[in-house]
Amino acid sequence: MKNSRREFIKVAGISALGVAAASPVLNALASGGEVAHEEKKVVVKEESSVDSPYKTNKSAIHGARWGMVINTSMIDAKKAAKITAVCHAIHNVPEIPNKKQEIKWIWPDKFEHVFPDKEDPYLAEKFKEMPVMALCNHCDNPPCVRACPTKATFKNSEGIVMMDFHRCIGCRFCMAACPYGSRSFNFSDPRKFLDPAKIDPAFPTRMKGVVEKCNLCAERLAIGKIPACVEASEGAIVFGDLADPKSEVRKLLNSNFTIRRKEALGTLPSVYYII
């Protein structure tokens, strides 16, 4: 028994080697010489990372772990609406009348909804009515990433939890995994709810059956701009590299008492709140 198994493995190994060695030859034979040559130009470069034809933009801004500090007392209902509108406009987020199907990247909510674990019957009135901006927390330990079977949701090298819409199969596991309701599902074609005159061609729309959420304006960081909500907040939201002790966000964390959403869950949000 033992002997024959060993024989089998030997033969299997040798055949595998043979196939591996023969495949370039077979490939060359399969596609006419000229075509193989043309296609190689593109493909070979992709494989060798040393000589990759791809680079990050010169104008891009980089961080080791991007994060935000939101100063809630500086945001009133009007500013909250403005911040939401700016983000949703540049990312072509549709406004869907049916509340159950709405799509949100950033939105104002009540304190008790954003911080349900800070429930307190004696919470001062002003906090009860104050709009608190909620968005994806770009968690350092993101459960949504672990849940996604296709790696459509992933954490990039700068700490942003990204969606690769090309890969999303709409299983919604990530939505079940996110404890903050940061994700929205496209129950129907979002373009039906977008004003064609207002669609921004600078950002693709989504399609039916895909999940979406805040991407921390990764497309803006790539061209050297800070997130749109930060710009629109007039100083109420500060953006920066949490890993850099000299960054503005770290300075704020040093000089203020801040809280994060549902800290006890261990998702390690990158969005901090000064109340």
Partner 1 sequence: MNDKKIAIAGLTVFIVLFTLPFWWNMAKAKPAPKPVISDKARAAGACIESKDVMAKSHMKLLDEWRVLAVREGKRTFVNSKGVEHNVSFSTGENSCLGCHNNKAEFCDKCHTYANVTPYCWDCHLDQKESAK
Binding region for partner 1 (CB under 8 A) = 35, 38-39, 41-43, 46, 52-58, 60, 154, 156-158, 162, 164-166, 196, 199, 201-207, 218-219, 222
Nearest to ligand SF4 of 147, 232 (CB atom): 147
CB of 157 to partner 1, least distance (A): 7
199 binds, among partner 1, ligand SF4, none (CB under 5 to 8 A by kind): partner 1
- What CA–CA distance (Å, rounded) separates 57 from 55? 6
Question: Within 13 Å of residue 115, how many CA atoms lie on the same side as its CB?
Answer: 22
Nearest to ligand SF4 of 118, 251 (CB atom): 118
Q: Which residues contact 24 (CB under 8 A, 6 or more apart)?
A: none
- What CA–CA distance (Å, rounded) separates 71 from 233? 10
CB of 227 to ligand SF4, least distance (A): 14
193 binds, among partner 1, ligand SF4, none (CB under 5 to 8 A by kind): none
Nearest to partner 1 of 34, 119 (CB atom): 34
Nearest to partner 1 of 14, 43 (CB atom): 43
Query: Which residues here bind ligand SF4, judged by CB under 6 A?
Result: 136-139, 142-144, 147-148, 150, 152-153, 161, 168-174, 178, 180, 182-183, 211, 213, 267
CB of 98 to partner 1, least distance (A): 21
User: What are the tokens at 16?
Assistant: 């595998």
86 binds, among partner 1, ligand SF4, none (CB under 5 to 8 A by kind): none
Nearest to partner 1 of 65, 79 (CB atom): 65
150 binds, among ligand SF4, partner 1, none (CB under 5 to 8 A by kind): ligand SF4
84, 108 Cβ separation under 8 angstroms? yes
99 binds, among partner 1, ligand SF4, none (CB under 5 to 8 A by kind): none
- What CA–CA distance (Å, rounded) separates 208 from 42? 32
CB of 154 to partner 1, least distance (A): 7
CB of 236 to partner 1, least distance (A): 27
CB of 23 to partner 1, least distance (A): 19
Q: Could you write out the DSSP letters of every residue in 218-249?
A: HHHHTTT---HHHHHTTTSEEEEETT-TTSHH
CB of 94 to partner 1, least distance (A): 13
Q: Which amino acid is at 103?
A: I
Judge residue 38's burial from the number of C-beta atoms within 10 Å of its C-beta, 0-12 exposed, 13-18 middle, 19 or more buried.
Answer: exposed
- What CA–CA distance (Å, rounded) separates 270 from 275? 16
182 binds, among partner 1, ligand SF4, none (CB under 5 to 8 A by kind): ligand SF4
Q: Given the DSSP bridges, would you call strands 66-71 and 106-109 parallel, antiparallel or unpaired? A: unpaired
- What CA–CA distance (Å, rounded) separates 235 from 264? 29
203, 217 Cβ separation under 8 angstroms? no
Q: Which amino acid is at 53?
A: P
